[in-house]
Amino acid sequence: MIHFMPRSREAACRPALCLAFCMFILIAPTGPAKAQTSANTAGTAGQAAPAISAAAPVPQPSLSVSLTREVLVAALGFLEPRTLEAHSARDFCLWGLDGLTAIDPTLSVTETRPEVSGPTPSPGGAMAAEKTSGDASAQAPTMLNVLQGQTVVFSRIMPAADSNGAWADLVTAAMQAAWQHSATLREAGSEALLQGFFDELFNHLDPYSRYLGPSPASSDRTRRTGNTGTVGLSLGQSGRMIVITAVNANGPAWEAGVDTGERLVSVNGRSTRGQDVTTVQGWLEGDEHTSVTLGIAAKGHRTTTLRLERTQVPPETVFASTDGPFTVLRVTSFSTQTAEEISQYIDQVVDEPTPDTPAPSASKNKTAGIILDLRGDRGGVLQQAVTTAALLLDHGVAVTTHGRNPLANHIWAVQGGDMTNGTPVVILVDGRTASAAEILASALADHRRAVVIGSETLGKGLVQVIGQMPNGGELFVTWSRNQAPLGWPIQGLGVMPQVCTSLGAESLQAQLSALKQGNTLQGEAVRLARAARYPVPVTKILDIRKHCPAAIGSDADMDAARVLLSSPAAYRAALESVPDENSAPIH
């Protein structure tokens, strides 16, 4: 039995890798937001004051014209060079203006050409971006119109397709006119106006590009960067009492000896009795390096007072356990510390090199095999998946990213040595495994370093770049595709496991029996998936994925892992069911 020690915050990954890191968080170059300008200043001047005082009229909500324009200029400048496919400012703006109709169905946006007697909706929807035919009429100016019912409330000539500033002016003016005529827009608010614009725009791109307004963007930045200080406690409720359900090994509460099951009686002298978990969790948070006083009571003991300093506590994403002679590392997501967590746990189950034995064999380790459980792992930081792969690979390409922007193209190569001394590795996946988790699984499988067990994964193989807007909002824009080491695209396809557990118990038993004899029943499906090249038609994706349908993980996954790790012949046959890298061209 291996007893895993709590991880140390000071410990770092073993220097067994050499990576070029680059964070894809780009800031759109914009100036500071200007003061808000009211777009609705209706009123009368010079009237005599009424003899009888009356309640002041309810002020109409205002639209910040200048800030709206700044956001649009920044967004168009950020989008144009980065989207996977090339689009003009005209495309983006015509798509986005459909957001007016989404908020207020009485509004519509149309285009009018000189040869048309009246405004008509664009083909394919109110604002589908058209391709001009090049004839004389197509070269004539085209009018953009905003209608409320049958009444035209705004009309202006469209500018050149690639003129970001002119299109930002046009959209801002159209929004302002719609705002003045639509009570529904004013009730929704100016932020809803921008949200609707970007929602409709991104509907034409991909499922993962999106806009976050200032408030959710701020929360998301805090989650990514961890600027909020805390003490590393997770809380639950027992009747009217708050109890500690988990203690983060990286936090000050762990260092102070706080344990699960104890009651959190008070925070800074304020009783927690009768409070909800979310409220008390908020009491624990604050600026980094500030102090917080906790009242802690174990069952049957008096309350103890602890004074702790809040710190940035990275979330624990790796949870270690043993299953017989095997080490199980359950990875819930990929945060900024995931690779370090995995490294420290691996350190506890493998022998350190010495001058006499610089490269101990796997048989000398404290574990007979490592099971990486990525089921339900929705991904996270791409670099952490690459770094984790570097802990288990001697060298090679972990993933390549390809986009229209040159900065989106990157080869993520690792080198330095396998810190597990060749210990057998099995990876568990299911239909929820996505993104960075798929990168790790595909990298280790394609290099024949691990056997993937489970079902087809989600197939989320797109990378987003983040642009911060002048209003504090953020754009998440897909700008590259992930490609596995053997050249196949992760997007849509997902990772085809070498051992499929979603076809039923009878099929699984047949697969394991064949593997013990050195044969594989899943080999053709694995080779078919690895042979795919971008772009892959949807029909072909569906045809490949049906060989191991996506499913929620089950006990059968772990059962298969035990069988495979207990049979060297079966493990080797499963590894070799993936084509050799020399037989699969790298693109």
Cβ(424)–Cβ(399) under 8 Å? no
- pLDDT tens-digit readout, 410-454: 999 998 789 999 999 999 999 999 999 999 999 999 999 999 999
Task: Look up the CATH number of domain 318-353+360-575.
Answer: 3.90.226.10
Backbone angles phi, psi at 250, to 5 degrees: -95, -5
CA-angle at 422, arms to 421 and 424, nearest 5°: 130
Is pTM beyond 0.95? Reply is no
CATH superfamily of this structure's domain 227-309: PDZ domain (2.30.42.10)
Q: What is the pLDDT of residue 417?
A: 84
Angle of helix 568-575 relative to helix 555-566, nearest 10 degrees, comes to 110
Cβ(432)–Cβ(376) under 8 Å? yes
23 CB contacts (<8 Å, ≥6 apart)? 383
Q: What is the pLDDT of residue 19?
A: 46
- pLDDT tens-digit readout, 63-98: 899 999 999 999 999 999 999 999 999 999 999 999
Cβ(49)–Cβ(172) under 8 Å? no
Q: What percent of the chain has pLDDT over 90?
A: 72
Backbone angles phi, psi at 491, to 5 degrees: -60, 125
Cβ(461)–Cβ(402) under 8 Å? no
Q: What is the pLDDT of residue 24?
A: 37
Cβ(430)–Cβ(557) under 8 Å? yes
CA R_g for the chain? 29
Cβ(564)–Cβ(512) under 8 Å? yes
Q: What is the pLDDT of residue 177?
A: 97
Cβ(511)–Cβ(587) under 8 Å? no
Cis peptide before 61 (omega within 30 of 0): no
Domain extents for the chain? Answer: 29-34+63-130+139-222, 227-309, 318-353+360-575
Question: Within the chain, which residues score under 70 in pLDDT?
Answer: 1-61, 114-139, 217-227, 352-365, 582-587
- Residue 578 per-residue DSSP state: S
Backbone angles phi, psi at 43, to 5 degrees: 170, 170
- Which SS3 state, helix, strand or coil, does residue 48 take? coil
Q: What is the pLDDT of residue 248?
A: 87
Q: What is the pLDDT of residue 30?
A: 36
- For 262, the token pair is 């104890």
